[in-house]
Amino acid sequence: MAEGDRSKIGFVFWIAQLGLLLVVFSVMHLGVIAQETLFNLVIIAVLGVMLALIAVTVRGGQFAPAPPSLKTVAATIAGFVILLLVNLGIWYFFDAPLFSSIGSEAWSERLLVNILAAICEEDLFFGVYCVAKAANLPDVWILFLSTVVFWALHGLVLNIHSFEVVVFLTAGRLVLTGLYAVTDHSDPSYVVHILWNVLNS
């Protein structure tokens, strides 16, 4: 992405924020995850959204939803296919299928938690991406830093004890942050992450 490009906020971003409220209330009602964990996820999401809105404002962007383009649709499909191929490759080479599913045994509850995690994580990383671009940080640095933070976030809830998990998390974050860099649009990463977590529920 060029240095002067502005990050665009899409329809999915705004829909995800409305969905986040519904999911949070559903998860609270069901008591699927600990209140402290839920609180932390919401704080992460709010922080990310605030960072994104501030950065977009500073760069003279707009909050009105930017419509999808052929480029964003193609990038979304490509990102999902790449994640799928990485997962299949890890399954083949390490005989270890990886799933991002966390939570209870009930499918509906796992689905809610996975959607919650996807939205909160993308809120954070989109916000950080927007701020980093506003500071003219090169995309390579943004990719590296977001991957390290992604490891740390997942290390809090997953037992990162094997090389294949590190490969999966690295590839996943590089794809998702890479979609921001390639399209300069919020929506492809949100769609891919949410769809991936739904698939793994």
* Segments forming the whole domain that contains residue 76: 11-199
Residue found by looking up tokens 């990886």 in the block: 98
Q: What confidence tens digit (pLDDT) does each residue in 162-200 have? A: 788 888 889 999 999 999 999 999 999 999 999 999 988
Average pLDDT of span 40-54: 93
Q: What is the pTM of this model?
A: 0.89
pLDDT at 2: 41
pLDDT of residue 98: 62
> Residue 2 domain-assigned?
no
Q: How many domains does the chain have?
A: 1
Structure tokens at 195: 């769809």
In a domain, 3, yes or no: no
Whether residue 23 is predicted with pLDDT greater than 50 in this model: the reply is yes
Q: Give the model confidence (pLDDT) of 117-160 as tens digits.
A: 999 999 999 999 999 998 999 999 999 999 998 888 877 666 66
Please check whether residue 40 lies inside any domain of the structure.
yes
Position 1 pLDDT exceeds 50:
no
**What one-letter code names the amino acid at 166?**
V
Integer Cα distance of 47 and 62 in angstroms: 19
Task: Report how far residue 59's alpha carbon sits from residue 67's, in angstroms, rounded to the nearest whole number.
Answer: 19
Residue type, 121: E
Would residue 4 count as lying in a domain?
no
Contact 158, 165 (CB under 8 A): yes
Average pLDDT over residues 44-52: 94
CA distance 195 to 201: 10
What is the b/e burial string over 53-66, where b = at least 16 CB atoms within 10 angstroms of the residue's CB? eebbeeeebeeebb
Contacts of 114 (CB under 8 A, 6+ apart): 100, 101, 102, 103, 197, 198, 200, 201
Q: What is the dihedral of CA 149, 155, 161, 162, to 10 degrees?
A: -40
